[in-house]
C-alpha cells in the first residue's frame, strides 16, 4: 500500500523502492513541505536494510523544476530548505542502494541536482536539463560540486554561468545522462533498465558504488587501503559465494 505524503508517492515492491515526485501542476517544483518530506523519506530508505534499489520519477510533464520559485519569491522558503535538500541528496549519493532516476520534460535546478546525486540517469531525448540558478541570483547548490565530475570543468562552467539548458540527446553526448529511452515508452523502458541493474546488484556492486563516491577525494594509498578493506567484505559476503556457485553451475546468480 503506498505511503501517504503530500508531495510524493512512495511504494515498495520487495527490495525495490519507488519515489514519485507528485506536484504535477507545478512541474514537481519543491517547496518547504516537499523538502521536509523528501529528506525524511530518504532517511527512512537509507536505514531500511531490506531495500536494494531505488527509482525516482516525476508525475505529469516534468521530472522536477527544483525549488518552488513562487514560494521563494513570496518569502515562504527559508535557508533551512537548502540543508534539508542537500542532506537528502548526499544520502542518495552515499546510501547502500543503487539509485536510478528517469528524466522527462524538465530537470532544472534542484531537479537536475537530484539527478546528479543518483547513480544512473535515464532520459528522454526531448527533456530539458539545466541549472539556471544564476538567473535567480542564486548558486546552483552542490551542482557546483557534482556537475564537473560528470561533464568536465569547462562544460560545467558554461552551463552554470550561462544558465542555459540542453536537451536529452546533448546530455547523453557529454556524459550527463547514461541511457536514452523513447518518448512514448519511457517508463516501460526505464523499468527494464532498472531490472538490468537489479540483476547485478550484489554486495560487491554496492561496495563499488561506495568506492566511486570517494574516488576523487582520496589519495592513492588511502583509497587502496579502503579498497582492500571493502574487497575483503565483498569476498566474505553471501553474494560472492552465490556468484561463484552460479558461475560453476552456468546459471544467473540469485542475490540475497
- DSSP string over 56-97: EEESTT-SB--B-HHHHHTT---THHHHHHHHHHHHHHHSSS
| Residue that terminates a domain, selected from 157, 179, 198 | 198
Q: How far is CA 16 from CA 11, 55, 96, 97, in A?
A: 8, 8, 13, 9
In terms of domains, do 207 and 193 share one? Answer: no
Rg of the chain over CA atoms, in angstroms?
Answer: 19
Please report which confidence band the pLDDT of residue 256 belongs to, taking 50, 70 and 90 as the band edges.
Answer: confident
Please, which pLDDT band fits residue 4 given cuts at 50, 70 and 90? confident
184 and 214 in a common domain:
no
| Interacting residues of 109 by C-beta distance below 8 A, sequence separation 6+ | 65, 66, 67, 130, 131, 132, 133, 140, 141
Q: What's the pTM value of the predicted model, to 2 decimals?
A: 0.95
Query: Is 52 in contact with 97 (CB distance < 8 Å)?
Result: yes
User: Where residue 247 falls among pLDDT bands split at 50, 70, 90?
Assistant: very high
- Residue 242 CA to residue 211 CA, distance in Å, equals 22
Same domain (yes/no): 63, 177: yes
**Would 36 be classed as within a structural domain?**
yes
Considering the domain architecture, whether residues 218 and 129 belong to the same structural domain is answered as no
pLDDT at 1: 41
Is residue 91 a contact partner of residue 55, using CB atoms and an 8 Å limit? no
**pLDDT per residue over 8-24, tens digit each?**
999 999 999 999 999 99
Amino acid at each position: 500500500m503506498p505511503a501517504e505524503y503530500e508531495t510524493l508517492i512512495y511504494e515498495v515492491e520487495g527490495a525495490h523502492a519507488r519515489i514519485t515526485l507528485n506536484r504535477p501542476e507545478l512541474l514537481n517544483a519543491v517547496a518547504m513541505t516537499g523538502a521536509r518530506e523528501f529528506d525524511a523519506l530518504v532517511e527512512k530508505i537509507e536505514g531500511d536494510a531490506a531495500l536494494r534499489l531505488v527509482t525516482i520519477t516525476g508525475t505529469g510533464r516534468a521530472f522536477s523544476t527544483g525549488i518552488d520559485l513562487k514560494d521563494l519569491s513570496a518569502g515562504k522558503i527559508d535557508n533551512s530548505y537548502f540543508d534539508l535538500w542537500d542532506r537528502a541528496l548526499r544520502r542518495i549519493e552515499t546510501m547502500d542502494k543503487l539509485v536510478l532516476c528517469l528524466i522527462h520534460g524538465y530537470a532544472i535546478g534542484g531537479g537536475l541536482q537530484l539527478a546528479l546525486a543518483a547513480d544512473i540517469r535515464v532520459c528522454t531525448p526531448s527533456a530539458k536539463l539545466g541549472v539556471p540558478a544564476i538567473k535567480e541570483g542564486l548558486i546552483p547548490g552542490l551542482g557546483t560540486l557534482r556537475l564537473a565530475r560528470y561533464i568536465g570543468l569547462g562544460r560545467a562552467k558554461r552551463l552554470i554561468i550561462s544558465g542555459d539548458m540542453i536537451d536529452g540527446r546533448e546530455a547523453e553526448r557529454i556524459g550527463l545522462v547514461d541511457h536514452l529511452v523513447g518518448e512514448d515508452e519511457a517508463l516501460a523502458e526505464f523499468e527494464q533498465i532498472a531490472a538490468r541493474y537489479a540483476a547485478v546488484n550484489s554486495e560487491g556492486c554496492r561496495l563499488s558504488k561506495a568506492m566511486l563516491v570517494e574516488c576523487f577525494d582520496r589519495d592513492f594509498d588511502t583509497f587502496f587501503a579502503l579498497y582492500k578493506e571493502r574487497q575483503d567484505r565483498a569476498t566474505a559476503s553471501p553474494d560472492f559465494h552465490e556468484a561463484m556457485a552460479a558461475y560453476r553451475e552456468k546459471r544467473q546468480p540469485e542475490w540475497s
